[in-house]
Structure 1
Amino acid sequence: MPVWLRDYSWRQTPSVVYVTVPGQDGRRLLGRPDIFCAEQYLKVNAPPFLFEAFLWAPIDEARSAARLEDGSVFFTLQKKEAAPWDSFLAEKVGKEEMQRIREDAVLRAHEKAKEEMDAKAIRKREHSKCALEATLKLEEAERKRVEDLKEEERKKATEEIEKWKEQNEKQRKLQERDPVDLIRKKQEDYEIRSGSGRAAQTASGTRGAGSSGNMFSEKLKEESVPGPRRAGSIQLKFTPRVFPTALRESRVQEEEEWLQKQAEARRVISTDLAELGDLSEEEKNPDWLKDKGNKMFATGNFLAAVGAYNLAIRINSKIPALYLNRAACHLRLKNLHKAIEDSSKALDLLTPPVPDNANARAKAHVRRGTAFCELELYAEGLQDYVAALRIEPTNKSISEDAEKIRRIIQETG
């Protein structure tokens, strides 16, 4: 049960109210307490301490602030109307009016959080659009560069082919001429280049002519051969197997059954997420969302934690821990009926009762019993605490709380 903080101090100016909430009996508020500030409602939740105030007049929550210093909470509240207050707390506020103010404050906080999430989603889509445009520009530039390289290589290849055709055409024309004249002309050109005269040719006789003819045919043959092709590399890519084991060592039938089950599960999840918008792969994983909600709960951001659990439940509604954790958030936010519903749903899923889920069932009974007690339904709350004790009979905390509830029932008759 929470320990209510009744001591506080306040002072005001025509437009600002300053409030100080110290710890109980000089004890400091440790950790990071949950501080909630609405138009006519203040709350400080630092287990086991709880402070709650319904204000005399509305304040501007957007310009108001709170800070934690030396174990105490200091509020700076900006008035909506610059006028002195007769009192800090509102007078003659009944339970129904208190509940209405709480629900209105939580509803407005939910709407504000939803607006922030929508704005964040819009910014994310804009960033994705900008990133996509930049990627398209880079791909277009790379494609143009590759096309230019291809065009350059094509031109080089065309020039080489044209040169090779010209050489073949020259050789063909030379072969069409008289072979004797061709040999004589080549021999004369050779003698001029080598520095020998006509006398050397006469002394050599027919043998020299035949030798020069062989040299010319070898040179002609060498000129007719095109140059070597340019070196290059070819990349081959193979479609990888889904399973890394070799085919001879794998169990093909079991692998195909597993792949079919995975495809069916992805199909079901994609069908359920069709209306959820553009989500990342992480945001489609209920376990990742549960861990994210747990981190937000640990930091005191209960509204955001509820949002993470809600999305995880929409993806997979058969995980008891999601309902159990969301029930804890609703308890912190005073959404008591929703806490009862989530705890009951978790108990329905935690079947059959086995030792592995005993701790979760005990938590579900305790959280539902706590919600009943907050609604002053102490008999129903005691039933849940007794059920939790049957599961964990050695838990002293549950036993002490159950005894307190019995005393409250006896005192109220």
Structure 2
Amino acid sequence: MPLLVEDYTWTQTDSMVYINVPLKGAKAGNVDILATDEYLKVHFPPFLFEAFLFEPVNDDRSSAKIGNGVAALALPKITHKLWEQLMIPNNNKEKKKAIRERALLKHQEKVAVESKAKAAKRQEEKKYALRKMMQLEQEERDTIQKMKDDEREKVTAEMEAWKQKQRQKAEEELKLKSQRTSQEKFKPVKKLALICMFPCVGQRCSDEASKKKAPVDLPAPRSAGNIQVTFTPRVFPTALRESRVPEEEEWLKKQAEARRAVNADLEELKDLKEEEKNPDWLKEKGDKCFATGNYMAAVNAYNLAIKLNRKMPALFSNRAACHLKLRNLHKAIEDSSQALDLLRPPVAANACARARAHVRRGTALCELQLYVEGLHDYQAALTIDPQNEALQADAQRIRQIIQNDRCSDVV
């Protein structure tokens, strides 16, 4: 008979349920996890953890990570609200039996469907690989044939050009030879007759020929120079469709409202000093405590400031940093998400604050081994600050971890 695990822990938000089950020295390969919308089982012989959930969850989006001796399960709620408890009452045995049977039947059907899908996917991948190989071979054959055809055409063209050049050369030599023969035959007689009949004409022709042969005086080239070109500066305003003035004005309006939204009428705050009722003073105090490593004191300062003013995103973001140091990972995720909700609309004035909130939430998710979700936050931070080399290195490390996990799952 299996030993039931009783020392599990669980936390929740409006939309998620997180359960941590200690594996008591069991190896990751020996852990069997079964999850449906209303039933959860973690079996690692001789131990067994069963949970008949208080309300249904989305089992298609549920995830489980095994590491550091703990099985961490994240279950998205179908109805966004806080549960009174994790499981249904223990006295309803018939209902538990029916839920267990339905879960096993659903799991068997899901395994059968996944097996068929994997087989079909493998067959399709084989077909695709075969088609791709045949396509590559055909492209290689076509490339080789094209190279042969191009080389043949090139050689043929060069041969034809050489033949044409030889024919033209022979024709020119023949023509030149015939011209020389005719000139040698008729030139002396004509020149002699011309001089005898018109002596002045011959003299004039020789004078004109000498003039033509005389060198012509050309002007010297102009000296080089540089032309300075200046452009009129662009002083007209940016087009209205590219302007972010409305978002900037909305952000400034929200900041002004946040400064005015101070709740100093709470009963527990009446005994405080005047400066202790100022959320800005409390924020500076929390920042100093965080810098000295006193994280609990910083959390207390931020808690009191948030009671006074819940519209300052810096309070939630800084408290998330404290929770990260204290390993309160789920609280760090909640505070970072709250800070991002308050940092809207996204404008240049709050870009750095949004990047910090994304990094803190992504770090908490990665600490919970939810690397894919954490990578999304790091990519959002890189979108805001793409030149940050530290963020680029962290994102690359997370991608490597995800790739290694996928390779281990395939093996």
Q: Normalised by the size of structure 1, how large is the TM-score?
A: 0.36
